[in-house]
Chains A and B, each alone.
Chain A
Amino acid sequence: MSLLTQRLRVLPFLPAYVALYFLFLYLPILLLPVFSFNDAATTTFPLAGFTTKWYASLAGNSVMLQAAWNSLVVGVAVSLLSTVLGICAARAITRYRFRGQRAAAGLIMAPLFLPEIIVAVSLLMIVLAMGVELSLITVILGQTVFCVPYAMSVLVSGFEGFDRSLEEASYDLGETAIGTFRRVTLPVVAPAIVSSLLVTFTISLDEFILAFFLSGTEPTLPVYIWGQLRFAAKLPGVLALGSVMLVASILMLTLAEILRRRAERRTQMAFTLP
């Protein structure tokens, strides 16, 4: 520790820099809730007073509530679908070695390295070329492509280090492949799976571009917000809605992180057992 503090003395500005960096990161997401309680239709300092009327106005907004319902449906479907696909891929990559593994993983992870608009445009073209109507289903299919890489990275870190001999012992004792998965593998990796569900649900809830291109006449919450941004008078209501979404996202991510760490600890424990 003394060595560390000694080294830090050489760079006295570094902690201050890191603090500034964090201020930069958090300022925008802290401002939304601040102004959502502000008793004025504009976002200026000094603040005008405390009110919860913007939140109250959300409850009676049926268009917004419908969009929220759409987001919920899409989010649940996307998180289930992308986590199931993620489990297959993560398991294949951490448990087996096969030719073409890198290429397959590369294609699955590619959406991380592509401009989202290109993914959106290409999906729109194939959907319309096949004569499929735009709907929430097309949003679900599109967002899943985009969420699988995230599901996979969460799951790979949960599956890695999983002791194979536990499963082999289970086979040797006469358990079937499915039985082994259910009674040996699943309990160890369950936290990682839940973590993946939460992360992908959050991404889907907040995802805009794919929903914007693929949703047709049924908007999700971000698409609804996009439509509201044109009207300055609607801004406080959007801020209130945005704050609710922020809090929901942060709660789910925190829970996901706690579970992910538990998953890590569990695989390590399974690993150190005699």
Chain B
Amino acid sequence: MTAAAFGALADTPSSGRRKAWMRSEEARGLALISPTFLYALALLFLPVLIVIAYSFWTQDYLDIDRTFTLENYRQALTEPIYRDLFVRSLWISLTVSIVTVVFSYPVAWFISFHGGVHKNLWLFLVTVPCWTSYLLRVMSWKVILGYGGVMNTGLISMGLIDKPLTSLLYNSNAVVITLVHSWAAFAILPIYVSLQKIDRTLIEAARDLGDSRLKAFLRITLPVSLPGIISAFLIVMIPTVGDYVTPRLVGGKDGVMIATAIQAQFGKAANWPLGAALSVTTMVLVSLTAAAVVLALKFTVRRIR
């Protein structure tokens, strides 16, 4: 579109203005960002549009029938197997994001308020495990939680239990533990950034004017760090809903999530339109749930204030 606009402008008397624009901040900025932007457009935006288009089509053996239909969505939303998977995926990702934020907040607070001169080192130490291979970490949790695994054999050799606990692995709890571990740093960083923005004298002032520590925290620290809490929540919840590796490795029958069903439609089942509809439904459902939680959070914090 911009290229066409350039072409049209070139033959008009306003080409002087065009030259001025070309030299302007705006043109240079646009020109500079365009390779990256076009790359994302071609390999992210366009593919997502294609997924949406496919979700309204039908698989006809090896061909795709391109008449508009809502049949895939009817299947996705009414078949009990998919409904259960959606409910479980949303429930797990909601639990994971809330647990991660709640457990990470004190650590972010500790680094921000008591990190001293080594704040950057603390942050680095928090992020290192999250940058290492995700697959390997999930595998490691399998080793820890398994029947003959570290946790069980360790507890037995300490004499705390007589026989291995079977409740550790292959259920949704194992999925939650593993995902909380995977996403810890993604929750700490945004919360830390928002805590850093708090004017420390505000808290001192509240204390001087007679607020208790808890009250000062609830009335100043918590509301000001709310944007950080919200982005931490979103950056954990939305990606975890579609997690594939963790449920497959540690979830067992009890911890299967929607990604397994999506993958099956692109593999063995070979029903792309249904897989596309499942993907779109996942995104819509997780966005709605996340939006509801964000609204609830904002409302609660305002009430506390």
Instruction: Please give the residue numbers on chain A whose beta carbons come within 8 Å of chain B beta carbons, in ascending order.
Output: 4, 7-8, 10, 14-15, 17-18, 21-22, 24-29, 31-32, 35, 42-46, 85-86, 88-89, 91-93, 95-101, 104-105, 107-108, 110-119, 121-126, 129, 141-142, 144-145, 148, 152, 199, 202-203, 205-206, 208-209, 213, 222, 225-226, 229, 238, 242, 245-246, 249-250, 253-254, 257, 261
Contact = CB atoms under 8 A, between A and B. Distances in A.
A107 B132 contact: no
Contact of A18 (B106, B240, B241): B106
Contact of B50 (A101, A119, A126, A144): A126
A43 B137 contact: no
Given A104-B33, A122-B51, A261-B120, A225 B136 contact: yes
A145 B135 contact: no
A68 to B, nearest CB: 13
Contact of A107 (B45, B135, B136, B245): B45
B68 interface: no
Contacts of B44: 107, 110-111, 119, 122, 145
Contact of B51 (A86, A113, A118, A261): A118
Nearest to B29: A96
A115 B239 contact: yes
Nearest to A8: B114
Chain B interface size band reads: 35 or more
A202 B150 CA distance: 28
* Residue of A14, A117, A141, A242 with most chain B CB atoms under a 10 A cut-off: A117
Interface stretch (B140-148, B166-174, B222-230, B292-300): B140-148
Given A21-B184, A42-B148, A245-B132, 8 more contacts: A89-B36, A98-B25, A115-B259, A121-B275, A125-B54, A144-B39, A242-B136, A250-B132
Contacts of B154: 45
Contact of B249 (A18, A22, A229, A257): A229
Contact of A29 (B137, B150, B244, B286): B137
B37 A17 contact: no
A263 B117 CA distance: 18
A222 B135 contact: yes
